[in-house]
Structure 1
Amino acid sequence: MNITLLDFAIIVSGSIGYFISIALITSSFYKNRANKYLSLSLFLLTTLTLLDWCDLENYLSQFLNNVMLDLLFGVILFTYFLIQIQHNYLKKKWYKWLYAFFFISVIIEILVTFFHAIFNFYNPDFDGWVYYIKYFGSFVYNTFLIFWARNLIKRSNTISEEKKRWLLRLNLFIICIVISWILSHIESYVFDSEYTTDFLWILISFLSWWILYYGVFRLQIVVQKDEIHQYLVSKKTHSNQAKKKISETTVSKIINQLYIVMDEEELYKNPLLSRLDLATRLGTSEGYLSQILNQETNKSVIQFVNEYRIEAAKNLLLDPVFNKYSIQAIGMEAGFKSKSTFYNAFNTSLGMSPGAYRKLQKKS
């Protein structure tokens, strides 16, 4: 058997898909209700891909193909979206009926297999019609669930914009897979070729890698950041950061106002905060703000803002309550846009990484 580059990619991505599925339900860092459904969704998608790629003729593979696992995949992925946006549909009694189509397909397959085995009944035309009805129904049902979920995500106001963007991207990725799936069937029937099928397999293979970083690691960081923020808001401590005292040498009204808005409104926690944003908030120009800040504090705007962020991060790293959260999530809550920016600013200020600072404080 000659293994092509595409075959190798499918095998590797399939292995990655199963690995991620297991990691999501065994690792304490990733374990939560939503990730359980994401894990099962990825497991089913990987299994469907490998079953289609292997094209095995044994009874087990044929049965798994015929019971329409993709119907189960659609509902489970839909549930994942509902959990992420905290939708009240999950509490409705009718929600469980969404699984009915999958169980109906299982019952149909069992009955068909029974008639074939016991009564030696086989009609190619009848089997063909059953096949096309099930696959067309699966396509329509999954497409309906995907676009329904997309509409719910767009209308949701219970999640952060970053999480919403991730969910919409994942949803769009699944839409692309469904479109490629139907095009592959059309191409195979009309042109008797499989170029779209190859593209579909590449797309599904890439999805495993994409979910590994953006859907699992990055999203978990965002979730942790949101948990930290919600805890601080609920306790109304805002990390108990000490208010900065205005220096006696500070004579500018603009700088006095800058200290006040930074302390009271915590503008530094906005990772997209710019010099223009600060100048507009203070009712002055960017140039004048930079000039007066440099004269009175000997710092640039970014140095001034990062000083607040580092102080906030230090307080979070020192608090045992946040020991279970990753350093990157703490950096995001403090206002840093990326891991590299956080580490560089922290190391420049204290001469050590955030991780080393946390370990040092635990030992002392």
Structure 2
Amino acid sequence: MNTTLLDLTIIASGIMGCFISISLVTISFYKSRANNYLSLSIFLIAILTFLSWNDPEYGILELLSNFAFEFLVAVTLFTYFLIQIRHEYLKKGWYKWLYFPFFCSLIIEISTVFLQEGFNIYNSDIDSLVFDIKDQGSLIYNIFLILWGRNLIKKSNSITEEKRGWLLRLNLFLICIIICWLLSNIEFYMYDSAYTMNFLWILLSFLLWWILYYGIFKLQIIVQKEEIHRYLISGKVDNTPIKKRINETTVSKIMNQLYTLMEEEELYKNPLLSRLDLATRLETSEGYLSQIINQEINRSVVQFVNEYRIEAAKNLLHNPVFNKYSIEAIGLEAGFKSKSAFYKTFNISLGMSPGAFRKLQKTS
């Protein structure tokens, strides 16, 4: 029963991995240079998982299982990291040499097959030695590139904290897989068993599902949010500041300063903006700020800030230029820190969901 469940898990994950890799290069929503390399990495991981689990003993699958695709996965993942952090290494001439270990292993394997099949020359000791060199060499190579990539991600100043967090989590996941890979090798050579290898297959399968949600869907939302922001500041669309200021003769100095901060600096777009942050900028106390806002406009601090966010979201949802972007990305750009917070606040304010509001604007 356990074996059957493991088999089903690996088969489902392999199918999902192939589906993800194809989607990344065919659906315009996901197309990007970075995702091309992520797609190839996912496809290779799915193939490696399937071949290791199936352990074919003849035919084309046996030949493929002998190719050290692990060398190639290391490079494609490392390239994915470099593209995401926009590192200059991509332009270096030596960068292409990172593929050299894979092509060397490929030549060695083809030569071995040619000697065995063409000249009927077979030496079990040499065959075992070649396997050990490829296996241990690919393990060391993966450790080197994954740790190198992690160091570059940490030092990068060209990415947002959200993207850095995703890249570091993916990198850590890969380190865990490498540790499991190392333990499975130790177990195999010392005890001639494969319990850790079964766990490695499960871990690789889980990685594919995890990448689908966090690395593709969630990260794509962040990428869209960044694109929307760049579009707004480029001047290609009308980005008139939201004006909610009332008659200046009827409001206090603090309220005028607060309106200025919100409208000129767009502080509401910071999802972590707090009452303390506003009070500090206005050089007053949190309690007094809350009191003034309540007296002047009968709102709490949170309601006051969210009104700006709702107006910003409405402007984006109303503009057909941003129809191709997801509602969640628009909510993030408006300053909401989560999809649930955006939907809840929007519903309370307008009595409808952001999706319904967008559809209404399209038909009006």
Q: Which residue number in structure 1 is paired with residue 315 of structure 2? A: 315
Task: Tell me how far 1:65 sits from its aligned partner.
Answer: 2.2
8 Å contact from structure 1 (residues 239, 312) kept in 2: no
Q: Which residue number in structure 1 is paired with residue 143 of structure 2? A: 143
Task: Tell me how far 1:238 sits from its aligned partner.
Answer: 7.8
- 5 Å matches for 1:177-216? 177-216=177-216
| Unmatched 5+ stretches in structure 2 | none
CA distance in 2, matches of 1:248, 1:269: 24
SS in 2 for 1:341: helix
Q: TM-score scaled by structure 2?
A: 0.96
Task: Tell me how far 1:248 sits from its aligned partner.
Answer: 4.7
| AA aligned opposite 2:77 | L
CA distance in 2, matches of 1:297, 1:38: 50
Task: Tell me how far 1:3 sits from its aligned partner.
Answer: 4.5
Do residues 107 (structure 1) and 112 (structure 2) align? no
Question: Which stretches of structure 1, 4 residues or longer, exceed 6 Å deviation after superposition?
Answer: none
8 Å contact from structure 1 (residues 249, 296) kept in 2: no
Q: Which residue number in structure 2 is paired with residue 80 of structure 1? A: 80
Q: Which residue number in structure 1 is paired with residue 65 of structure 2? A: 65
CA distance in 2, matches of 1:284, 1:149: 45
CA distance in 1, matches of 2:141, 2:101: 9
| AA aligned opposite 1:280 | T
Aligned pairs, how many? Answer: 364
SS in 2 for 1:40: helix
CA distance in 2, matches of 1:113, 1:250: 88
Q: Which residue number in structure 2 is paired with residue 170 of structure 1? A: 170
| AA aligned opposite 2:284 | T
Task: Tell me how far 1:250 sits from its aligned partner.
Answer: 4.0
8 Å contact from structure 1 (residues 239, 316) kept in 2: no
CA distance in 2, matches of 1:317, 1:278: 27
* Alignment deviations for residues 267-315 of structure 1 (CA, whole Å, 9 cap, x no partner): 1001011111111111111111111111111011110000000111111
| AA aligned opposite 1:204 | L
The share of aligned pairs that are identical, in percent, is 68
Task: Tell me how far 1:237 sits from its aligned partner.
Answer: 6.8
CA distance in 1, matches of 2:100, 2:109: 14
8 Å contact from structure 1 (residues 246, 259) kept in 2: no
8 Å contact from structure 1 (residues 241, 312) kept in 2: no
Q: Which residue number in structure 1 is paired with residue 18 of structure 2? A: 18
Q: Which deviates more from structure 2 when the two are superposed, residues 189-198 or residues 298-307?
A: 189-198
Q: Which deviates more from structure 2 when the two are superposed, residues 78-87 or residues 1-10?
A: 1-10
Q: Which residue number in structure 1 is paired with residue 280 of structure 2? A: 280
Q: Which residue number in structure 2 is paired with residue 341 of structure 1? A: 341
Q: TM-score scaled by structure 1?
A: 0.96
CA distance in 1, matches of 2:341, 2:71: 44
8 Å contact from structure 1 (residues 225, 332) kept in 2: yes
| AA aligned opposite 1:56 | P
- 5 Å matches for 1:120-269? 120-235=120-235, 239-248=239-248, 250-269=250-269
* Alignment deviations for residues 76-126 of structure 1 (CA, whole Å, 9 cap, x no partner): 111111111111222222211111111111111111111111222111111
CA distance in 2, matches of 1:192, 1:37: 35
| AA aligned opposite 1:220 | Q
SS in 2 for 1:239: coil
CA distance in 2, matches of 1:29, 1:142: 30
Task: Tell me how far 1:356 sits from its aligned partner.
Answer: 1.3
* Alignment deviations for residues 334-357 of structure 1 (CA, whole Å, 9 cap, x no partner): 000111111111111111111111
SS in 1 for 2:336: coil
CA distance in 2, matches of 1:223, 1:254: 36
Q: Which residue number in structure 2 is paired with residue 50 of structure 1? A: 50
| AA aligned opposite 2:39 | S
8 Å contact from structure 1 (residues 257, 282) kept in 2: yes
8 Å contact from structure 2 (residues 34, 84) kept in 1: yes
| AA aligned opposite 1:261 | L
SS in 2 for 1:4: helix
| Unmatched 5+ stretches in structure 1 | none
Q: Which residue number in structure 1 is paired with residue 90 of structure 2? A: 90
CA distance in 1, matches of 2:307, 2:239: 15
CA distance in 1, matches of 2:305, 2:275: 10
CA distance in 1, matches of 2:55, 2:237: 59
* Alignment deviations for residues 48-94 of structure 1 (CA, whole Å, 9 cap, x no partner): 00101011111322221222011111111111111111112222222
Q: RMSD of the TM alignment (CA)?
A: 1.6
Task: Tell me how far 1:2 sits from its aligned partner.
Answer: 8.5
8 Å contact from structure 1 (residues 116, 122) kept in 2: yes
8 Å contact from structure 2 (residues 242, 312) kept in 1: no
Task: Tell me how far 1:232 sits from its aligned partner.
Answer: 1.5
